[in-house]
Structures are given as structure tokens and as C-alpha cells.
Amino acid sequence: MKLKHSIVLIFITILSCTEPYVLETENFEDLLVVEATITNEYKKHVIKLFRTIPLEEETANIESGATVKITTNTGIEYNFTQQNDSYISDQEFQIEPSLLYTLNIQTTKGETYISTSEKMPAINDIDEVTAEQEIKNNIEGVAINVNASDPTNSSKFYRYEFIETYIVIPPFWSPNDIVVDTNNDLQVEPRTTETRICYSSSFSNTINVISTENQTEDVVNNFNIHFLAKEDPKIANRYSILVRQYIQNSGAFNFYKTLKSLSSTGSLLSQVQPGFIVGNIKNVNNPEEKIVGYFDVTTVSEKRIFFNFEDIFPSETSSSHYFNCDTFLYRSDIDELPPGYMGPEVGAKNDIIYAITNNISIYYSGDPTIGENIELVYPYCGDCSSFSSNIAPDFWQ
């Protein structure tokens, strides 16, 4: 996705963490992009620094060689060292309620950037994540909703992200493989690797924020963070979603809320020019310089759920797959098709041998014995490991 017309729209891409930060060339400004969130999780934290890039470029422009650290009002310093495209803290740490945290960046060009001092917000766990059958915009599907509550009435500002993991089963899987033996003949052998059941994951790329500031109780009730259509192949078999709840300070919440409102006012290619959103990071020597991003100090809780397709749609079976698949019939009883052959087959024995010996993508999906016609498909229609992982995640159940 390449975003145009408004500089603010780069932020949407930043938050998804999946694609380069882009601007339309005619409006291009060389800006520092800061992606920095620290939490109450005890771990090595990650900060990313980039420069904006013109529309026609594809590779992210990493801000390399910078000196990055986070300091506290009590004099504690957490230094970050660059590793590939990220800056990773030298030590594990977690934010604490009694401290103020400040991000400090010095680039190789001698520019110094500093954030406002941010403190740890309230800690609040997710109460429940639910998956419910729902019709949304005339589409039947599954709504993923979150419930949370804070009896101390101190959380107020919530943001949600998620990671979804799901089983992938190809429609033309076979337990057998077709191989070329030493006599240059075709033989069938049992497969020795897992090619039927695989696991894929997707990360959320939308902004889900909600505030309870104007409510009498600090309660998040059935807040919808994700919707999957019934025909979505992600839920065709078994599906899991890990929801992460961030409790934010008001400044961070308003920053994300503004991004969300701008991205939902119609097409991302809208002609509307909403302008630049000011974050909490500035250039010490040039306060007017535009900085893309926000230094977010937040607390996190998470909850995972699992469900099968039939749990949501009882007595039904999904027929959804990731790809449209057709089988191809090859003749094994002839070496070469005669010139001008007009039959339905698309190849002969030598075609199969050539494809196998040259690692051309074909996949045997036929019977345990080789008959006159050999049924083949493209790998992604029979071998899930061709586009997904055949190793179950540690959390899978």
C-alpha cells in the first residue's frame, strides 16, 4: 500500500510495521520516523528509526548509527544498540510507576532529538475475549470482541493489537509423492514431511482505540477489534487470536485516535489535506522540525482464545481455501505427446520427469498407484509448507 496526498498518512503504515514509509514524490519531505514503545513487560525493548522515502522507492531507509537511550528522572539510563533495522536495549527492563521516562536520540549528523517525559499509566488486565457469530454490513462472519474493566477508574485510555494464527489445509493434499527412480520411471512413495497441516500468522494493521473517560464506570464492553467473514479461509479450520491491550496516557491515546479518524474518513487516497500530527518528540536545536511518531510508555496485558469453524457455525463445514486450484492430468503411458495432439492432457511422462528433476513446482495429488493419467496440482494447492509453516507454534492447542 502506497499512501499519497497527505503526510499524516504515513503514520498508518508505521503502526502496521509491515511496509516502508512512503510519501508522494512531489510532496516529499525527508523526515525522521520514530517507532518507540516501552512497556511493563520485562524484556529487551525495541526502537526503530527510519527516514521517509519517495513514492518510487521500495526499500526502507534506516536511520543507522544513531545513539539511542532512554533516561529516567532518577538518573537511570537504558542504552540501545543497533541490530539490523532495529535498536535493541542492552539490558532487559520494565517501566515502573514511580519513574518518568525520556527518549533521547542523536544521529550521525549531530542532530539531537528528545521526547517529553512520560510516566507509566495504570495496569489493567483484559477480562475476556470473545468470538461471536455476527452479521456486519450484510456479511455473515465472526466478531472478535474485548471486555475489560477497572474498578479503580484509572485506566480510561485503551488501545488493542492482535496476532491471529490459523491452520492451513490445502484442498488437494496427498499422503504420497511421485519420484523418478534409477530407471527413469515414475514411482509413488509416502511423503516424509508434513505437507497437509500448517500454521500461518497475521498481525493487525488497524488502529483500535477506545476511551471510557466520559463514562461513569471504567468498563470496555464488547468492543469489536476484528471481524472475519464466514468465507475467510483463516477460520476454515482452527483459529487463534492473541489480543494485546495497551493502557495509554491521554497524549498517546489522542495521537492514535487522530490517526484512526484520519484513516477512516474515506479512502486513504482522499484529496483532503488534514495536515501533520504533532507527536511528543522534537529536535532540540530545531523545534519546528517535523518528527513522525510517538514515544509511548504503556502497560500491556494479553489474552488468547481458540475456536474451530464449527464452534461458530454448528453443523456447517467451510469450503474456503486461499487459492483457486485446478488439477492437471499428465499421461504416464506415453513418453511424448504426438505433434498436433488436441486431447485434454497437458503433458506426458517426460514432462513430469523433467519437472521433477529440475525442481519445477508440481505436486502429486493422485492415487497410491500410478495409472494412465497422473493428477498434479501446483504446490500451494497440495503442499501447505510451500507457503506456510508445518511446525506447530508452542502455544498451539
Q: Which residues contact 185 (CB under 8 A, 6 or more apart)?
A: none
Judged against a pLDDT cut of 90, whether residue 351 lies above it is answered with no
pLDDT tens digit sequence for 78-94: 999 999 999 999 999 99
> 3-state SS of 197-249?
CEEEEEECCCCEEEECCCCCCCEEEEEEEEEEECCCHHHCCEEEEEEEEEECC
Over residues 318-324, the mean pLDDT reads: 90
Q: Which of 120, 105, 107 lies closest to 35 in space, CA to CA?
A: 105
Q: What is the pLDDT of residue 20?
A: 44
The chain-wide mean pLDDT, for the chain, equals 87
347 vs 5, more confident: 347
Q: Which of 205, 203, 204, 206 lies closest to 260 in space, CA to CA?
A: 206
Judged against a pLDDT cut of 90, whether residue 343 lies above it is answered with no
> Do the beta carbons of residue 350 and residue 337 sit within 8 Å?
no
Q: What is the pLDDT of residue 273?
A: 34
332 vs 340, more confident: 332
Q: Return the SS3 of 359.
A: coil
- Residue 385 is classified by DSSP as G
Q: Which of 148, 174, 146 lies closest to 162 in space, CA to CA?
A: 146
Report the run of H or E that residue 309 belongs to, with start and end: helix 309-312
Q: pTM for this structure?
A: 0.85
d(CA 39, CA 97): 11
Percent of the chain with pLDDT over 70: 87
Q: What grid cell was written down for 51?
A: 527516514
197 vs 361, more confident: 197
Q: Return the SS3 of 158.
A: strand
Q: How many helices (H) and strands (E) would you count in the chain?
A: 5, 26
> Any idea where the domains of the chain sit in the sequence?
7-121+250-298, 126-169+200-242, 176-195+317-386
Q: What grid cell was written down for 6?
A: 497527505
Q: What is the pLDDT of residue 67?
A: 98
d(CA 203, CA 242): 10
Judged against a pLDDT cut of 60, whether residue 392 lies above it is answered with yes
Report the run of H or E that residue 53 belongs to, with start and end: strand 53-54
Judged against a pLDDT cut of 70, whether residue 310 lies above it is answered with yes
Q: What is the pLDDT of residue 187?
A: 87
pLDDT band at 221 (very low <50, low <70, confident <90, very high): very high
pLDDT tens digit sequence for 25-44: 556 778 899 999 999 999 99
pLDDT tens digit sequence for 266-283: 333 332 334 568 899 999
d(CA 115, CA 191): 56
271 vs 347, more confident: 347
pLDDT band at 309 (very low <50, low <70, confident <90, very high): very high
